[in-house]
Structure 1
Amino acid sequence: MNIVNIMWAGGAPYVSVHKVHQQILSQAGPDATISSWLLQGQGSCCSAGETREWQLSQRLLKGRHFWKLLHPWMRGRFREALKQAGTEVVLLDGLGVSRLVLPVMRQLPEVRAAVVFHGKTRLHRGDISLLRSFEPSQVTLVAVSQTLASALEQDLGVPVQVLRSALEPTSFRQALLDRGAARQTMGLPLDGGPVLGAVGRLVDSKGFDYLLDAFALARQQQPDLRLVFLGEGNERALLESRIKALGLGEFVSLQGHCNSLAHLYRAFDWVLIPSRSEGLGLVLQEAVMADVPVLCSDLSVFHEQLGDAGRYAAVGDIEAWGRAIIESVASDRDQVAQAQYQALAPEQVWQRFSQTSSDLLRTS
C-alpha cells in the first residue's frame, strides 16, 4: 500500500500536528510505503519514509488575487506526483491542505483520502461545498476529539469521524527523564519551591499572557513558586515584556523550543494549560502520562479527557487562575496525578486510536 502524508508546513510550530500524523501512520502496517510532503518549510515530518519539500510560497498557497490563477497549474503537479507515486491513500493535514489537494481527487477516483482536523477552523461556503462534494467511500473527515468532531458536524452537515489523538504510553514513559535529570537539563534547582510548567507555542490561543498575571497573583501568597515555559512563537517579545513589567525575571524562564521536550515533564510539579481554545491538547496527555498533574482551562475538550479528575479554571480569569494555582500546589499532587491518569486511561485510548487509524488507512 502506498500512502502519501501531506502536511501544511514543517518546523517547530507544527511539531504537535506532525506527532499526530506520525502516530496515525505507525498503524499502516509493515508492507506500507509512506512518503510525506511538506508544502512549506523544511524538515522531516514522519519517522518512516522520505519527505518531499515543495517549497511553495505563502501567497501561492493562500491563492489570493493573481496567485489564485496558478492553482490549476499547482494541482496538476500534485496530480502527476500522486500518480507517479502509485498513491492509494492520502492523509491530509486539515483545511488548508484540503483546499489545494481535494480538487485533484476528482480526477483520481481510485485514491482514498482522510482529512484530519486538528482544531476549530473557519469554514467558508466554498469549503463546505468542497467537503460535502465527495462520497464517504473516497474522502473521510476526521477530528482529533469528540468536541471538535461535534462542532465540525454542526457546521458541515456531514459525518465527522472521531479519532481522539493518543500517544503510545509504554514507549512514551520509557523515554522520560527522572525529576533530577530533567531539571538539570533545563538548569533548574533540584530543591526549593514548586516548579510549574507551561508547554506549547508562544501564541495567543495558548493563553500564556494572562497566565503570567495569574502567576504573579499566586506568588503574593506563595513567593517560592517558579514558572517555566517550554516552546517558541511570535508572542515571545510580548511575554518577555510582561515578565519584566511584573518583576518576575528571577522566577519565570522562557526556555524556547526543545527537541526533547517530551522527555522533560517530570521536572515540573504541575503543568498549567491556560488555552483559550484547543482541538485536543496533546500537552495534557503527555503531562498526565508522565505522572504530572495538570491544571487546565475549563474547556469541553479537556473535560472530555479528564472528567471529574480534572482541575479547571475559567478561560482568561486571572483571579480564578491565581486561586487555582495556590489550591493545586497545596494539594496532594501524587493523588491528583493518579486520578487523572485513571481518567485519561491512556492504554485503552491508544488501543482505540490504533484500531481506528488502521481502518482509516485501508484501501478498501
Structure 2
Amino acid sequence: MSIINVMWSGGSPYASVHKVHQQILSQASPGTPVKTWLLQHSAPACLRELGQVEALKLSSRFLKGRGIWALSRPWRNCFFRKALLKNDARQVLIDGLGVARVLLPALRKLPHVRAVVMFHGSTRLQCKDVRLLRQFSSEQLTLCAVSQTLADSISADLKLPVVTLSSMLNPHTFEQQLLPRDQARQQLGIPAGTHQVFGAVGRLVDSKGFDTLLSAFAKTLVNHPDRLLIIIGEGVMRAELEAQVKALGLQGKVLLPGYVDNVASLYRAFDWVLIPSRAEGLGLVVQEAVIAGVPILASDLPVFYEQLGEAGNYVTVGDESAWVRAIEASDALSTTEVAARQHASLDPEHAWLRFRQACTTVLSGL
C-alpha cells in the first residue's frame, strides 16, 4: 500500500507548500512507499527525497473542467481512479482545495482509499465545494489546516471538523544549513558598513504587503540613510514593486534579488525580518527567522500571534505609519533579547515534537 501525494505544481510559488508536505510525509511509517503526482510541473528536490515524483503535465483547462472541457470530467475521474488502483493507493494527501476539486470526485467509487485535504491558506469556498466535501464520511476524508486560526475559519465555513496540523520545521535540520552572518551577507551582496539590514521573504503578491513596506521603509531612510532592505522572492508584482522602488528613489537601498534557491541558509544576514502580510495561512518565515535567531516585526495577524504570543512585535496590518514607527523603534531594541524572547515563545523543539505526533496520528488514520 502506498501514499500518493497530489500537488498542483512545482516551482518557487509553491515552495512553502512543498516544505509542509515534505515534513508531513517524512513522518510516514518506515518502508511506506510515497509517490508524488504533480498535476502540472515537476517537483523540487525536497519531494524527490521522499520517493518517486511524476509530473502529469495536465492542462489547466482540462483540470478545471470549464466550458467545453466540462465534458471531459468523467474521463478525468476515470483517469485518476485507474492511476490510484494501479499504484495500490490506500492513502492520498491532497494539496488544498484546487487539487481536491480535481481528485475527490475520483474517490467516490474507491471507498477503500482514504484522503487528507491539507489547507495552507484562506480560500474562497463555493457552494459546490461544500457539497463535494460533505459527500464523504469522516472515515474516508480528513480535513486539515496548517494552523489553528485557519482550521477555525474553514470549519466555520464548512460546518465540518477541521484538524489542526500546526506545521513546524525540524529546528535541528534547519539550523544545520544556516550560514554565518558574514558569509550570508557576502552571498547576498550586502555592502560592508551597512548599519541595519532588514530582510523580507515571500512571493511578490498583494497579500504579502510589500508595497506598504516599501513606502514605510523609504520614510525611515530620512534619519537612517545607511539602512538596507532585501525582499527575497518572485511573483506577479515584481514589475509593480520595481516601479515603486524607482519612484521612491530607493535604488541601492532596496534589493529585489528574486527567487533565491538557498534562502533558508541566509537568514543570519538580517538584523530583523519584516513580515508585512495582509493575510497568511501559517507563515513559515516566522519559524525560519526564529530558528535562525533573528528577531521579527510582523503584522498583527492572529496566525502570527498563535506562534509568537506576547513575545511578538506586531504592527497594524496595512498601516504604513505604524510600520514607519516600528522600523524606527527597532534601532533602540536589543535584537538578541527580542530574538531570545520569540524563540522561547515559539519553542521550536517542542513544537516540532507536537507536529510529528500530530502527523503520525493523521497518517495512521488514513
Bin the TM-score by the shorter chain.
over 0.9
Secondary structure of 2:293's partner? Answer: coil
- C-alpha distance in 1 between matches for 2:193 and 2:307: 32
8 Å contact kept, 1:199–1:229: yes
Partner of 2:60: 58
TM-score normalized by the length of structure 1: 0.98
Secondary structure of 2:8's partner? Answer: strand
Q: CA deviation at 1:68?
A: 1.5
Secondary structure of 1:221's partner? Answer: coil
Q: In structure 2, which of residues 267, 271, 274 is the aligned counterpart of residue 272 of structure 1?
A: 274
Q: CA deviation at 1:171?
A: 1.1
Q: CA deviation at 1:329?
A: 2.8
Mapped pair 1:69 → 2:45: no
Offset from partner CA, 1:213-265 (integer Å, 9 cap, x none): 01011112222110001111111110110000000001100111111110000
Mapped pair 1:8 → 2:8: yes
Partner of 1:40: 40
8 Å contact kept, 2:212–2:320: yes
Secondary structure of 2:4's partner? Answer: strand
Partner of 2:298: 296
Q: CA deviation at 1:81?
A: 0.5
Q: CA deviation at 1:330?
A: 2.1
Partner of 2:216: 214
Partner of 1:29: 29
- C-alpha distance in 2 between matches for 1:352 and 1:43: 27
Secondary structure of 1:150's partner? Answer: helix
Partner of 2:204: 202
Q: In structure 1, which of residues 161, 164, 169 is the aligned counterpart of residue 163 of structure 2?
A: 161
Mapped pair 1:87 → 2:89: yes
Q: CA deviation at 1:190?
A: 4.0
Partner of 2:357: 355
Partner of 2:243: 241
Q: Which runs of 5+ in 1 are unaligned?
A: none
Cα distance change on mapping 1:162 and 1:363 into 2, 3 Å: closer
Q: Which moved more, 1:193-202 or 1:52-61?
A: 52-61
Q: CA deviation at 1:60?
A: 1.8
Q: In structure 2, which of residues 92, 107, 110 is the aligned counterpart of residue 108 of structure 1?
A: 110
Q: Post-superposition, which runs of at least 4 consecutive aligned residues in structure 1 deviate over 3 A? A: none
Q: CA deviation at 1:74?
A: 1.2
Q: CA deviation at 1:166?
A: 0.4
- C-alpha distance in 2 between matches for 1:138 and 1:117: 17
Q: Which moved more, 1:167-176 or 1:36-45?
A: 36-45
8 Å contact kept, 2:91–2:115: yes
Q: In structure 1, which of residues 187, 193, 196 is the aligned counterpart of residue 195 of structure 2?
A: 193
Q: Which moved more, 1:289-298 or 1:181-190?
A: 181-190
Question: Which letter maps to 1:157?
Answer: K
Q: CA deviation at 1:344?
A: 0.5
8 Å contact kept, 2:217–2:324: yes
Partner of 2:288: 286
TM-score normalized by the length of structure 2: 0.97
- C-alpha distance in 1 between matches for 2:316 and 2:290: 20
Offset from partner CA, 1:27-53 (integer Å, 9 cap, x none): 002211000000112234612111111
Secondary structure of 2:326's partner? Answer: helix
Q: In structure 1, which of residues 233, 254, 257 is the aligned counterpart of residue 256 of structure 2?
A: 254
Offset from partner CA, 1:187-229 (integer Å, 9 cap, x none): 1124321000010111111010111001011112222110001
Secondary structure of 1:255's partner? Answer: strand
Identity of paired residues, percent? 54
Query: Mapping of 1:175-194 within 5 angstroms?
Result: 175-194=177-196
8 Å contact kept, 2:267–2:289: yes
Question: Which letter maps to 1:22?
Answer: Q
Secondary structure of 1:134's partner? Answer: coil
Q: CA deviation at 1:363?
A: 5.3
- C-alpha distance in 1 between matches for 2:69 and 2:262: 39
- C-alpha distance in 2 between matches for 1:303 and 1:347: 18
How many residues get paired?
364
8 Å contact kept, 2:147–2:303: yes
Secondary structure of 1:9's partner? Answer: coil
Q: Which runs of 5+ in 2 are unaligned?
A: none
Query: Mapping of 1:337-348 within 5 angstroms?
Result: 337-348=339-350
Query: Mapping of 1:93-132 within 5 angstroms?
Result: 93-132=95-134
Secondary structure of 2:211's partner? Answer: helix
Offset from partner CA, 1:109-161 (integer Å, 9 cap, x none): 11110100000000001101111121111100000000000001100001000
- C-alpha distance in 2 between matches for 1:73 and 1:29: 33
Q: CA deviation at 1:105?
A: 1.2
